Chains A and B, each alone.
Chain A
């Protein structure tokens, strides 16, 4: 069974540029999460979806960050006008809501903003 797939693995931007990260969850998983993991810190939740609906986006910096999951499968996280403080690894995870709450993580997309 394929795991959670993320792309691109790496991105390097100048401040003010935009970037999109893509996530393909495990087939059958109805819940998808985006986490931000700054260097030497634990993952911090940005947003999560159940099917196509946003369940919690309270930690998403809404002025520059957006996330969608239009068909309840793949998801895109977009950062507009990136800042140096956005430098981090962006982790996507998926789970099935009817089970024990275990999240399956992708390898992450590492963003560096110069």
Chain B
């Protein structure tokens, strides 16, 4: 079945620096891709969803790149700030809606002033 590898497991950056998290998946039928943020004691908050073959999406303070050819999904936190400190998970869904998500192992990001 689908396997999702996420790296690095931990990331420490200074405020204003950028940080990159990469996920690699195995199933070429993977269809939808997500990034979630989890703050301590809180649930999973959706950051971004993508589903084109090669897509760059920009949100508030981050960029997501999907490369289906290489089966890779990345999250780039640009100009990180302390509020970005959290655990980040990528997640992959096969085919179309109503399917369970397969999650990566998570990356703990710490942003220091």
Chain A interfacial positions (CB closer than 8 Å to B): 30-31, 33, 35, 40-45, 48, 50, 55-56, 91, 93, 95-108
Contact = CB atoms under 8 A, between A and B. Distances in A.
A43 B32 contact: no
Interface string B23-58: 000000001101010000011101001010000000
**Chain B residues touching A, majority SS:** strand
A28 to B, nearest CB: 13
Given A91-B44, A107-B42, A101 B98 contact: yes
Contact of A106 (B43, B46, B97, B101): B43
Given A42-B105, A98-B98, 11 more contacts: A40-B106, A42-B6, A43-B44, A45-B101, A45-B102, A91-B44, A98-B97, A101-B32, A101-B93, A102-B46, A103-B91
